[in-house]
Amino acid sequence: MLEALQATDPVVSRRALSKAITLMESTRADHALQAQALLEQIMAKTHSIPSKSLRIGISGTPGVGKSTFIERFGLSLIEQGARVAVLAVDPSSSLSGGAILGDKTRMEKLSVHPQAFIRPSPSAGNLGGVCAKTRESMLLCEFAGYEIILVETVGVGQSEVAVANMTDVFLLMQLPNAGDDLQAIKKGVMEFADLVVINKADLDANAAMQAQAMITSSLRILAHSPSNAQHLQSSAMNASFDQDSDTTALESVVRPLGADPSSAMMLDPSRRVFKISALSGEGIEDLKLGVREWVEEHQRSGHWHAKRSEQSLAWFWERVESGLRESFNANAAIQELLPHTLHELRAGQAHPSLEARKLLQLLTNQIKENP
């Protein structure tokens, strides 16, 4: 499969990539072992090679125009020589468990382009706007040679910011007339946004201008908060990297964005909020310039590498938590007691916290007895 992922024939490569992601997302035990083996093979080949990809997370409320924007943005990047992969996460029904997975229908041109790959995946109840194996899917796309990975989340609220912890640049899409200045200042998803995109600005120019001013003001407030200042200071102190190799990675990543690696600049909030129309393409080039400036600034300051390190730690803890849930569900003694426990909880004859502690303690004791 490794050879097929890196095949020069785009049809062969995309087919292999689809199969590999399906393998990663499978819940079957035998598929999990195969997926683990595939990841180990990929890591063995890429462990000492700096990643030259750019991971961009794209979030926003339903109807903001994420899919339309991604097609316009992706095609623009491809025109400048990039290979673009799109990981689109669809919400799964809490009743049926199914998902529509229809994002490709909104990206007609991008979905058939030989230099693009689009993969819709169900959220399957996973919180944060992404699915459980989005990180693994990004790794597979990078191994297959896609330089820019766009992660489209489900429509998110203020607390669903998991995508910000797994991408290099987090774009938050907003609409004109989406709320007053108090709504713009509210902490939540806004304080995780690296760049804010006001889409459909052509429908109401005055409303778009007011939204841009309000969001810019809120970003200035968030930028001066003590938590953000401490975070940036610690990131800069912890960043340690080889300047030569990172310059090469920088040039490879930002070239499709029209970058000049010699001109890094610090972004003020007024350069972080963009008015665009995904339908007409208005403002897309200015946004690409803003992304390029953001990449340059963080590559040269060292924050980029600190963020990549944080992504690895977040991935590690997410896998640990997932593994513990799997161990809990696979434990025979727990599964024997679970129906009775659930019956008592439904009848109001037991306390959820106490019952959870009992079952977790049972799992802990078995681990101690059988290390």
Predicted confidence band at 67 (pLDDT cuts at 50, 70, 90)? confident
Please say whether the dihedral angle defined by the alpha carbons of residues 24, 74, 149 and 128, taken in this order, is positive or negative.
Answer: negative
The strands making up 54-60's β-sheet, listed across from edge to edge, are: 116-122, 84-90, 148-152, 54-60, 169-174, 195-198, 273-275
Report yes or no: 119 and 21 within 8 Å, Cβ to Cβ. yes
Q: How far apart are CA 74 and CA 89, in angstroms?
A: 17
pLDDT of the residue at 262 = 40
Structure tokens at 336: 């024997």
Report yes or no: 361 and 333 within 8 Å, Cβ to Cβ. no
Tell me if the domain spanning 49-301 has CATH number 3.40.50.300.
Answer: yes
Residue 93, pLDDT above cutoff 80: no
Average pLDDT value for the chain: 76
Chain segment 158-203, per-residue pLDDT in tens: 445 677 778 888 898 888 876 555 455 455 667 778 898 999 888 8
Chain segment 275-314, per-residue pLDDT in tens: 999 988 899 999 999 998 888 888 888 787 788 888 888 8
In sequence order, which residues have a C-beta less than 8 Å from that of residue 355 and are 6 or more positions away? Answer: 341, 344, 345
The half-sphere exposure of 21 on its side-chain side, counting CA atoms within 13 A, is: 30
pLDDT of the residue at 94 = 41
Residue 84, pLDDT above cutoff 90: yes
pLDDT of the residue at 305 = 79
Q: What is the pTM of this model?
A: 0.77
Is the pLDDT higher at 8 or at 244? 8
| Domains of the chain, residue spans | 49-301, 331-369
